[in-house]
Every structure is written in C-alpha cells, then in structure tokens.
Amino acid sequence: MITSTEVRGPKSKKTGYEGWPVAETLVILDTGAEQNYVDEELAEYIGAKVVEGDKKLTVATLGGGETKVQSDKVKFELLTQHGKLEIEALTIPRITTEFEPIKLETSEKEFIRKKNIKFKKPEGTQAGILLGIDAFMKICDKWEKVTLPTGRSLVFTKLGSVICGSMSESYNQEFRKSFVARKKEDIREKDEIEKEFSLEEQFSLQNIGIVENPVDPKTEEIKQMFHDTVVQDEENRVCVTFPFKKGMITKIADNHSMALARLRSMYRNSRQTKAWDQLIKNFEDMINRKIIEDTQANAVEDDLRPVYYIPYQLVYNENSNTTKVRTVFDASSKVKGEISLNQAIHQGPSLIPELLGILLRIRTHFYLLVGDIEKAFHMVGLQEIHRDCTRFLYLKDPLGEIKEENLRYMRFTRIPFGVNASPYLLAMAIEYAIEHSAASEKLKEVVHRMCYVDNLFATSNNDEREPEEEQMEANETPIVRRETPV
C-alpha cells in the first residue's frame, strides 16, 4: 500500500523543532518487511537523529546484483491524523526507482464522493520511506475498510485512506512494475567492502581510457563553449564559466534548505572539536586570499545567473602529512526531485586517455621531474555571472548559534573543488594560459603533452636543469617539484 504524509526530525530538548523543515513524501506500507527504511537524503534534509551509526548493509534486488552500503539507524516523526508517530529506520541510498502511484477508477471516485470519504491522492514519483510490519500495525491498528466497486479496498489508517488491491488491466502497462528488495547486515569489515568497490571501479573500461569515440562531437562543443566565454582579468588570471547543459540553467534548484540542514548537522556534531577550529582557519585563509567573498542574502533575479547553495562537510585523514581535516564541498547535493549543480553542467571529457600517453612518454627517458601546481583549482577565476551558483552558508560568529541573523552568505570567486567540471576547467585554463603567454614553443609543447590536471611531468637523460624548468621559475609558477629516476 502506498500513501503520502509529512515527516520531520525529532524534537530537540534545547531548540524544539526550530530550524528543521517538514517534508512530504510517499510512504510504502509493506507487511513483508521486518525493518523500516528511509531515503538517506530525506533523513538528512529533515534532520533525523542518528541513534546508531555505520551499520553495514547488503541490498539485493530481484533480477539484479547485490550492493553494499553504509547505513545509519535514525529517528524521525510521522505527522499523522492523530498526532505524531515516532519511527526508527535504517537509511539507504534509494527506496524505489521512479513510479506512478496507483490511480482511482471513475467508479471509485464516484463512490468516494457519494460516501463523503476523505481521500488524498498520493503525490510524487519516488518513495522516501518504507515501513515494515511493526510500524504498519501502529498505523493500521483498527483495520477499518470499505470495498470499492472495482473490488479493491479503501483502508482507513492514521496516515489517511489508502487504496489496497491490484492495478486494473486498463492501467498504463509501463507502470505495472514490481519493486522488491531484501536487505541484510554485512558482517565483513569496512575495508573489505571498500576494496571490492575500488577493484570494480579500477577495471571498468571508461576508467582506463577505452572509449568508443575519443573525438566526441559533444566534447568539441564543450571546448568551443570554453573558448567562447574565457577571459583574463587585470591580474592576468584566467576566468571561466561553468559549461551548463542546454536548457538546464533555469531548472537548477537553489538547495538552500539542504545546505542549511548540513550546516546544522555539522555544527551539532563538530562544534566542540578541533575540526571546527580548523574549518574556521580554512575559511579565514580563503577570505584573505580572496578565494571566497561575502554576498547578499537575496541574489539577483536573472535567468542567466543561477543560484545554488553548496553544502560542505569535514573529511578526516589522519594519515595525511599535511592536511588532517579538509573542508569538502558537495555540488551533487539536492532535495529529491530537484536538480543539483553537478547535474546541470557538463562534466567535460575524460582526461584518462591523456594520462595513458603521459605514462608511456615518461618511460622514454632516464630522469623524471614531477611537479604539481600549488592550490591549482583556486588559481582559476570564476566569472561574476556564475558565482551565485557556488554560494554556501557560514556563520558571522563561528562560535555562535545557527540562526538567521548569524548566517553569513558567501560564494566562490574561483572554481571550487567538488564541482564535477572543475578538473576539466582547470586543464583547459592551464592550456589557455600557456598558449597566451610569452613562454617558448618548447615549453608550451611540454605543458600540452605532459600536463595532467594540475600535475606536470618533464623528462631528461641527464641530471642538469632543463631550460623549461628555469623558465617556469622565472614566471613564478607555484610548482612543488619532486625528482626521481624512472
């Protein structure tokens, strides 16, 4: 049975329900399920409370393979016709694929109208919650129902009236599908699961540079889009725009509610830790270097200036010798049914084929000079017209509470890492900058043939400094060098 209802996070002892949104979602009532499940994006959006983290699940669909996922047990509230109902559920990436909720026949509509029965048609195309047998019995505790003219039943539940029965033969055959999944806890260690995913990705064809047509016409269009819009500012910095897909620039959602929910969640979990102090230092450093800037809360209303708020989180890497905590931006974030920034722009062509050529060429000489451009992504400017789609929320007082008057609206002035097109834009910006510089033709060729994203490679058969290396230093190129025999 399928219905729809409103959900929200549990009440906090300190702040009540303040700040967390209420969302409406489709709910599947499944008497064959022993557990309750909630879409992980929905759980994060409403501020569901994590009561038990890092549970390992194996999700298996009929006719398909198994997928390993990390899950949290969370607590949230269903808003029923008789008050709130607290639910505990496991988070999973997706409950169902898109489907169309069951429709009423004409005779059923007339019956419901004459009997003056309250019935709300479920809205949406994806279920956000699946409730198992325990929750089902709480929602359908009295099991009152009426039989409709078609033979189907109308069951009265705490979530409203729900249609129970099979689809009619006249119903659109495209949507006469079943969606069934079984889930079990995975007892293997997290490292084993991650290793299996890594091996699968490592041997996929697109990840080793094998493509059907290396000169894709769409690739040429994206490159032309870059050359039509790229400029250099007064500081000679290359400034770019995002390569939006046709017709998508007006469909992107602002994602403000998700960004605010992520900020609240991170603040709640990290406020008293050294990681929060590191986040403050990171943002202060980016402000001083003019990588990010303050902006107004209300953006300019212009179809050519899309608005999108990028959520961010803290990622820990204790094995790193330099940065133990990174601030990672997620431009793929979105509320279900909306369009994220990464969905709206072209990612750009794969750079893997160029890497294969580089790996072959570096084996032809005895010495190899390897370097990477320091903070390369933040070297490339982002033009004003697209800065509002790199907005994010911060705090005027990082140690104060999260409330409207303390929210600080900021945006990037350079391309941020986390946008799927950034590696491609960086590669194109380096190529454009070197072609329009006073560098020698030999150096231009070295960069063109031996540069992969922000990594530069040079080869030699002797250990003396090459002229190209000296010219890079003369141009004050911020490159970290590492020399090694091949």
Identify the band that residue 228 occupies on the pLDDT scale cut at 50, 70 and 90: very high
Query: Is the pLDDT reported for residue 208 higher than 80?
Result: no
pLDDT value of residue 365 = 84
Least confident of 192-206, 259-273, 411-425: 192-206
User: What is the distance of C-alpha 304 from the center of its chain?
Assistant: 23
pLDDT value of residue 16 = 55
pLDDT value of residue 29 = 84
CA dist 479 and 473 (Å) reads 9
- Radius of gyration of the chain from its Cα atoms, rounded to whole angstroms: 27
Greater confidence (150 vs 379) lies with 379
Query: Is the pLDDT reported for residue 197 higher than 80?
Result: no
Greater confidence (267 vs 456) lies with 267
Q: What is the mean pLDDT of residues 438-451?
A: 80
Which range of 88-97, 101-110, 310-319, 397-406 scores highest in mean pLDDT? It is: 397-406
Bridge-based pairing state of the strands 238-240 and 381-382 = parallel
CA dist 283 and 375 (Å) reads 15
Least confident of 144-158, 171-185, 361-375: 171-185
Percent of the chain with pLDDT over 90: 19
Instruction: Report pLDDT digits (tens) over 64-94.
Output: 456 667 788 889 998 887 788 888 999 888 7
CA dist 376 and 258 (Å) reads 28
pLDDT value of residue 177 = 46
pLDDT value of residue 280 = 93
Query: Is the pLDDT reported for residue 313 higher than 80?
Result: yes
Greater confidence (392 vs 417) lies with 392
pLDDT value of residue 60 = 58
Greater confidence (207 vs 385) lies with 385
Least confident of 214-218, 253-257, 300-304, 427-431: 214-218
3-state secondary structure the chain: CEEEEEEECCCECCCECCCCCCEEEEEEECCCCCCCEEEHHHHHHHCCEEEEEEEEEEEEECCCCEEEEEEEEEEEEEEECCEEEEEEEEEECCCCCCCCCCCCCHHHHHHHHHCCCCCCCCCCCCEEEEECHHHHHHHCCCCEEEECCCCCEEEEECCEEEEECCCCCCCCHHHCCCCCEEEEECCCCHHHHHHHHHHHHHCCHHHHCCCCCCCCHHHHHHHHHHHHHCEECCCCCEEECCCECCCCCCCCCCCHHHHHHHHHHHHHHHCCCHHHHHHHHHHHHHHHCCCEEECCCCCCCCCCCCCCECCEEEEECCCCCCCCEEEEECCCCCCCCCCCHHHHECCCCCCHHHHHHHHHHHHHCCEEEEEEECCHHHHCEECHHHHHHHEEEEECCCCCCCCHHHEEEEEECECCECECCHHHHHHHHHHHHHHCCCCCHHHHHHHHHHEECCEEEEEECCCCCCHHHHHHHHCCCCEEEEEEEC
CA dist 132 and 399 (Å) reads 41
Identify the band that residue 187 occupies on the pLDDT scale cut at 50, 70 and 90: very low
pLDDT value of residue 203 = 42
Bridge-based pairing state of the strands 49-61 and 66-80 = antiparallel
Identify the band that residue 18 occupies on the pLDDT scale cut at 50, 70 and 90: low
Instruction: Report the candidate in 170, 411, 160 with the shortest Cα–Cα distance to residue 309.
Output: 411
Average pLDDT of the chain is 77
Query: Is the pLDDT reported for residue 199 higher than 50?
Result: no
Q: What is the mean pLDDT of residues 146-174?
A: 70
Torsion of CA 351, 352, 353, 357, to 10 degrees: 100
Q: Mind listing the domains of the chain with CATH numbers?
A: 2-184 (2.40.70.10), 219-460 (3.10.10.10)
Say if CB 127 and CB 3 are below 8 A apart: no
Identify the band that residue 414 occupies on the pLDDT scale cut at 50, 70 and 90: very high
CA dist 435 and 417 (Å) reads 24
Say if CB 440 and CB 472 are below 8 A apart: no
